[in-house]
Chain A
Amino acid sequence: MLATIVDWAALGTVILYSFAGALLLTGLFTTGVLFIEGDGGRASPARRAAGALCLALCLALVAFGIYVMFTTK
């Protein structure tokens, strides 16, 4: 009975996007913070640039999230 009532395709998409999105977003943010903050001392310019890139990608994902809010309901 559940097989016909539940929208399995939508549920699968939600599960996939949720894991992928959350892991990507937190992974990028954590990597960005760790690169920028350095380990004990000041981070090298290359690491700071890589960190900034990670955080910029994070911001882009958040902006995409807000776009999703605007366009789907």
Chain B
Amino acid sequence: MDAQDVVLGLVVVTALAFDFTNGFHDTANAMATSIATRALKPKVAVALAALLNFVGAFISLKVAATIAQDIVDPEAITTTIIFAGLLGAIFWNLLTWRLGIPSSSSHALIGGVVGAVIVAAGFDAVTIDGLIGKVLVPSVVAPVLALAVAASVTFLVYRRIQRRDPEQIMRSFRIGQVASASLVALAHGTNDAQKTMGVIVLALVANGNLSSGASVPAWVIVAAATAISLGTYVGGWRIIRTLGHRITKIETPQGFAAETSSAVVILAASQAGYPLSTTHVTSGAVLGAGLGKRAADVRWGIAGQMATAWLLTIPAAALVAGAFYFLTEQIGTEIAGPLVVSILAILAAATLFVRAHRSSPVSAKDV
């Protein structure tokens, strides 16, 4: 085993760590409203989401072979850039988890890669048109569209059921809510596990272990599916609490409307080949479900915090990844740099975790 293989191993482990944080960060997307309305018990909800994410990882037929496609010059991407980009994305995921704010893991990864590429090859290696067209515009479209769809659907559902005894129909709506939430979880698995597979395949190709265009090795699919589903099962309770309780008080028909709207918007975007973040869609749909019900209380302060986090995702992940890339390069890209930076990153992440659990623990009991 030479130095390159050790660096490749570090990249693979870092990619799986990112996949894990992606899972626990995004559990809320599918299950927050089902937990909030008690359609499912918290532990059952995260177990179901984990299972569907695992299954979803095997469903997709085509793996995203490149990360940040059309956003950075593919010739500029190296193993060290991927490594630093992943670390930037992980740290943004952990920070937003600590604050209980839902934010896009895909955007964090893109931001991380962009930051590392800028430090490595300069601004010329970034395609601004791609960044605007594939990331920035969709990040505005996703929450606004999901909000509008969910608000319309919620309004119409409440108009239809207003004269009925709520207790009589709630059981059916709970079933509908769980079904639509399951569809969101499945879609999440098909989208997000593929990113990690793409990153690992890219590193394997760059290291010469795999020829370009080769099919994804089975161990990569199983490892990525396992990492994202384990992360989902751990459950990002802080973000679940924010989406399920802090934006608006969710009732079962609202949860049904929000999850159905999310599932349909995500699938429509998939069908049209238009990239939308699952997190942006589900967060917008929860807001819409709040707006669509007459006299419902939407906390715009929390929504504002979320929007701010979305604006900061790419620059913040880019900044952290750029710093990690610079540090790795200074120490040495052979083996010492990635090894030292990995140890520093693990220590920083562990400190963040421990401090979060000591100062303000949030568990399944709190959602």
CB closest residue in chain B, given A27: B156
CB closest residue in chain B, given A16: B268
What's the least CB distance linking A22 to chain B, in Å? 4
Contacts of B257 in A (CB 8 A): 26
Contacts of A30 in B (CB 8 A): 156-157, 160-161
- Give which listed residue, B160, B165, B172, B183, contacts A65 with CB less than 8 A: B183
Interface of A is mostly: helix
- Give which listed residue, B153, B183, B264, contacts A17 with CB less than 8 A: B264
Contacts of B187 in A (CB 8 A): 69
Give A22-68 interface residues, CB cut-off 8 Å to B: 22-23, 25-27, 29-31, 33-34, 36-37, 39-40, 62, 65-66, 68
CB-based contact B168/A37 at 8 Å: yes
Q: Does B353 contact A (CB under 8 A)?
A: no
CB-based contact A26/B260 at 8 Å: yes
- Give which listed residue, B60, B265, B272, contacts A22 with CB less than 8 A: B265
CB-based contact B272/A62 at 8 Å: no
CB-based contact A65/B263 at 8 Å: yes
Contacts of B146 in A (CB 8 A): 18
Report the Cα distance A18→B149, complex, angstroms.
7
What's the least CB distance linking A39 to chain B, in Å? 7
Give B147-173 interface residues, CB cut-off 8 Å to A: 148-150, 152-153, 156-157, 160-161, 163-165, 168-169, 172-173
Number of A residues contacting the other chain (C-beta, 8 Å)? Answer: 37
- Give which listed residue, B129, B163, B267, contacts A68 with CB less than 8 A: B267
Report the Cα distance A8→B257, complex, angstroms.
27
Contacts of A10 in B (CB 8 A): 272-274
- Give which listed residue, A6, A17, A69, contacts B59 with CB less than 8 A: A69
Report the Cα distance A50→B179, complex, angstroms.
21
Report the Cα distance A10→B274, complex, angstroms.
6
CB-based contact B137/A18 at 8 Å: no
CB-based contact B169/A37 at 8 Å: yes
CB-based contact B256/A26 at 8 Å: yes
Report the Cα distance A14→B64, complex, angstroms.
21
Q: Does B139 contact A (CB under 8 A)?
A: no
Contacts of A37 in B (CB 8 A): 164, 168-169, 172
Q: Does B133 contact A (CB under 8 A)?
A: yes
B residues contacting A by CB (< 8 A) are 56, 59-62, 64, 129, 132-133, 137, 141, 145-146, 148-150, 152-153, 156-157, 160-161, 163-165, 168-169, 172-173, 176, 179, 183, 186-187, 190, 194, 256-257, 260-261, 263-265, 267-274, 276
19 chain-A/chain-B pairs, Cβ below 8 angstroms = A5-B133, A6-B133, A6-B137, A14-B272, A14-B274, A17-B264, A17-B268, A18-B268, A19-B148, A19-B152, A22-B150, A22-B260, A25-B260, A25-B264, A30-B156, A34-B164, A66-B186, A69-B187, A73-B60
A residues contacting B by CB (< 8 A) are 2, 4-7, 10-11, 13-15, 17-19, 21-23, 25-27, 29-31, 33-34, 36-37, 39-40, 62, 65-66, 68-73
